[in-house]
Structure 1
Amino acid sequence: MQVFWEKVGMLGPVYRLAGSGLTDSEIANRLDVTEVRVQNCVAWMQCFLSCKDRDELIQDASFSSKIAKMM
């Protein structure tokens, strides 16, 4: 069983990869986790960030990565 911080540790990489336009399946392959786990992370982030859909989450993640590169 995973502890809380191990679950939270998945959110950053999933967020960044989703922002780069990868599908759940592609993200799962890159991170060596199940697609269901990626889908759960995406659903949690959509709820937490109040995103209407995956497209809005991807826009948010893409915008965040552009700002991070500028700094």
Structure 2
Amino acid sequence: MWNEFKKFSLKGNVVDLAIGVIIGAAFGKIVKFKRKKEEAGEETAKPSKEEQLLEEIRDLLKQQQQRT
């Protein structure tokens, strides 16, 4: 029985199937990664109140530096 399985597994069909599964898994991971990356880009978070305050302070400081 082992010899029969060996002969069957060494045939091209099984090897082709194994290669197809490996390539399919790799493409699946690539698509999943790309989809996550696109979703992350779409979700832009609004700046927090602290960040807005810091931006205003930065802008005011820049204006004061330009005047002097």
User: TM-score higher than 0.5 here?
Assistant: no
Point out which structure has higher relative CO (alpha carbons under 8 A, 6+ apart).
1
Higher helix share: 2
Bigger radius of gyration: 2
TM-score scaled by length of structure 1: 0.27
TM-score scaled by length of structure 2: 0.28
